[in-house]
Amino acid sequence: MQWEVKIKRDRMEGEEERLNEEDIKTIEEVGAISFRAIDKAKEMAKPGMKLVELADGVEKFVRDSGFDIAFPINLSVNVEAAHYTPSLMDERTIGEKDVMKIDFGAARDGLLGDCALTVDFSGENQDLVEASNNALENAVSMVRAGAKVRDIGKEIERTIKSMGFSPVMNLGGHGVGRHDLHADLFIPNYDNGSDDELEEGKVIAIEPFATTGRGMITEGDTCEIYSFNGEAGVRSQGARQVLAEISSKYPSEPFAARWLSNIIPSKFGLYAAIQELVRSGALEPYPTLIEVSKGLVSQAEVSMLVEKDGCKVLTK
């Protein structure tokens, strides 16, 4: 099973959408601000800083720039591969030896950015960081209409293993559609035998994950990211209030629990309401993803527009 965000689609299954010139201009703007945001996060992040302060600051930067948010900023540290975003009143701070993945994207008119980088605060794990960076660079050089995803995955695996690390096998790249962060196409970090090919005019994200561990991830015990599944009957007033807020403000893209503190300021009350909504089926939870053997993980990611003879990197 691939661990990936399963965002509710606004279009019918199998229906294709082609980007027009205005869409392409918009998604280039979205990509540019997405990259500026993760670069800003890298500049802001310092040992001792609270993760929630970093998250709130970078998300505010995107909103103040006139964009929406494609998904809550992921600040996944060390053995965490993905999906960690700070909780309400989170006291967690950046450690001096942390390896932190910063994964984030802006949005406008349902068009989404998605990019990531890794910060090695101690400087002791630069080879691990370079493994995912080099794998991404080599993979992007192969992108063109008609390229097979298995060949891209094979090159990612070859690059990461050549540097003494393992690719994370059950995470990978993906198509990016309107209101659809993880569209149907899956781009593996190894040769998965798929004959799927890249199509001209489609937006994709490639994201190699390298690890000192076995190269598999599983769900952890924490969850701070959710998406709206649809209306459901709930009993408590708090859950009804939270559901109304979610269906109004976050009907398509994922959201962070801490974004709802204006509805229920109490941390206990907010999380109780969210759990009631999860049990009812109104919300889809996305737990933090952990490397199974507790290996350190690095990540690199860009989004790009597939062209006939290459690609246009959007998140730069």
CATH number of the domain at 159, please.
3.90.230.10
Query: Considering the domain boundaries, does residue 178 fall inside one?
Result: yes
Q: Write down the catalytic residue from 59, 98, 114, 155.
A: 114
Query: Percentage of residues in the chain with pLDDT exceeding 70?
Result: 95
Per-residue pLDDT, averaged over 166-184, amounts to: 93
179 is known as an active-site residue: no
Q: Please check whether residues 76 and 35 belong to one and the same domain.
A: yes
Separation between Cα atoms, residue 198 and residue 185, nearest integer Å? 8
Q: Write down the catalytic residue from 29, 59, 130, 207.
A: 207
| Of 23 and 5, more confident | 23
Neighbour count for residue 52 (Cβ, 10 Å): 20
103 is known as an active-site residue: yes
Please report how the helices 51-64 and 21-44 are oriented relative to each other, as an axis angle in degrees rounded to 10.
150
Query: Considering the domain boundaries, does residue 78 fall inside one?
Result: yes
Q: Please check whether residues 74 and 215 belong to one and the same domain.
A: yes
The pLDDT score that the predictor gives to residue 16 is: 52
Instruction: Quote the radius of gyration of the chain (alpha carbons, Å).
Output: 19
Q: Please check whether residues 64 and 161 belong to one and the same domain.
A: yes
Separation between Cα atoms, residue 97 and residue 94, nearest integer Å? 9
Query: For residues 10 and 178, is the Cβ–Cβ distance under 8 A?
Result: yes
Residues 132-164 pLDDT 10s: 999 999 999 999 999 999 999 999 999 999 999
Indicate the DSSP class of residue 97: T
Q: Is the pLDDT score of 210 beyond 60? A: yes
Q: Write down the catalytic residue from 155, 182, 224, 291.
A: 182
Separation between Cα atoms, residue 53 and residue 51, nearest integer Å? 5
174 is known as an active-site residue: yes
Average pLDDT, the chain: 94
Query: Considering the domain boundaries, does residue 50 fall inside one?
Result: yes
Q: Please check whether residues 194 and 64 belong to one and the same domain.
A: yes
Q: Write down the catalytic residue from 4, 174, 224, 291.
A: 174
Indicate the range of 7-21, 275-289, 293-307 predicted with least confidence.
7-21
Q: pLDDT grade, residue 15 (50/70/90)?
A: very low
Q: Is the pLDDT score of 2 beyond 50? A: no
Q: Is the pLDDT score of 57 beyond 70? A: yes
Q: Please report, as a single letter, which amino acid is at residue 305.
A: L
The pLDDT score that the predictor gives to residue 83 is: 98
Q: Please check whether residues 280 and 303 belong to one and the same domain.
A: no
Query: Considering the domain boundaries, does residue 136 fall inside one?
Result: yes
The pLDDT score that the predictor gives to residue 182 is: 85
CATH number of the domain at 277, please.
1.10.10.10
Q: Please check whether residues 242 and 152 belong to one and the same domain.
A: no
301 is known as an active-site residue: yes
Q: Please check whether residues 183 and 276 belong to one and the same domain.
A: no
Q: pLDDT grade, residue 17 (50/70/90)?
A: low
Query: Considering the domain boundaries, does residue 62 fall inside one?
Result: yes
Q: Please check whether residues 257 and 190 belong to one and the same domain.
A: no
pTM of the model: 0.93
Q: Write down the catalytic residue from 29, 103, 155, 157.
A: 103
Residues 266-286 pLDDT 10s: 999 999 999 999 999 999 999
Q: Which domain holds residue 273?
A: 225-286
Q: Please check whether residues 91 and 172 belong to one and the same domain.
A: yes
Query: Considering the domain boundaries, does residue 3 fall inside one?
Result: no
The pLDDT score that the predictor gives to residue 68 is: 98
**Beta-carbon contacts of residue 178 (< 8 Å; ≥ 6 apart):** 10, 11, 17, 109, 110, 111, 112
Q: Please check whether residues 200 and 64 belong to one and the same domain.
A: yes
Query: Considering the domain boundaries, does residue 1 fall inside one?
Result: no
Q: Please check whether residues 249 and 102 belong to one and the same domain.
A: no
Residues 230-254 pLDDT 10s: 988 899 999 999 999 999 999 999 9
Q: Please check whether residues 100 and 235 belong to one and the same domain.
A: no
How many domains does the chain contain in total?
Answer: 2
Q: Is the pLDDT score of 7 beyond 60? A: no
Indicate the DSSP class of residue 50: B
Separation between Cα atoms, residue 42 and residue 218, nearest integer Å? 26
Q: pLDDT grade, residue 13 (50/70/90)?
A: very low
The pLDDT score that the predictor gives to residue 173 is: 96
Residues 77-125 pLDDT 10s: 999 999 999 999 999 999 999 999 999 999 999 999 999 999 999 999 9
Query: Considering the domain boundaries, does residue 5 fall inside one?
Result: no
Q: Please report, as a single letter, which amino acid is at residue 179.
A: H
The pLDDT score that the predictor gives to residue 231 is: 87
Query: For residues 104 and 71, is the Cβ–Cβ distance under 8 A?
Result: yes
